[in-house]
Amino acid sequence: MTKGIQTIRRIISDFYMVLILIFLYAPILTMMVLSFNQSKSRTSGAVLRFSGMPRCLTAVPLWGL
C-alpha cells in the first residue's frame, strides 16, 4: 500500500473510534448532568444545583477498597 492510503485508513479508523466513544459516553454524561436537577421530573432542568455533589463524592470512599 502507498503511504497516502495508509494515512486515509488511519484517519477513517480514528473517526470511527471517536464515534464509538461518543455513543458509549453520551448516556453517562447525560445522566451526570441530569443528576444535578433538584426536581423529580426530567423535563424541567432549568436549575442545576451542585449542593449534592460533596455528599456523592464522600458517601463511599472508592480508594479504600
- On the question of pLDDT at 9 being above 70, the answer is yes
Q: What angle do CA 55, 53, 46 make, to 5 degrees?
A: 135
pLDDT tens-digit readout, 11-65: 999 999 999 999 999 999 888 887 776 666 655 555 666 666 666 666 666 665 5
pLDDT at residue 21, as a whole number: 95
Give the residue with greater pLDDT, 56 vs 4: 4
Whole-number Å distance between alpha carbons of 12 and 25: 20
List the chain domain ranges: 3-64
- DSSP-derived secondary structure for 4-36: HHHHHHHHHHHHHHHHHHHHHHHHHHHHHHHTT
Whole-number Å distance between alpha carbons of 44 and 37: 8
pLDDT at residue 30, as a whole number: 87
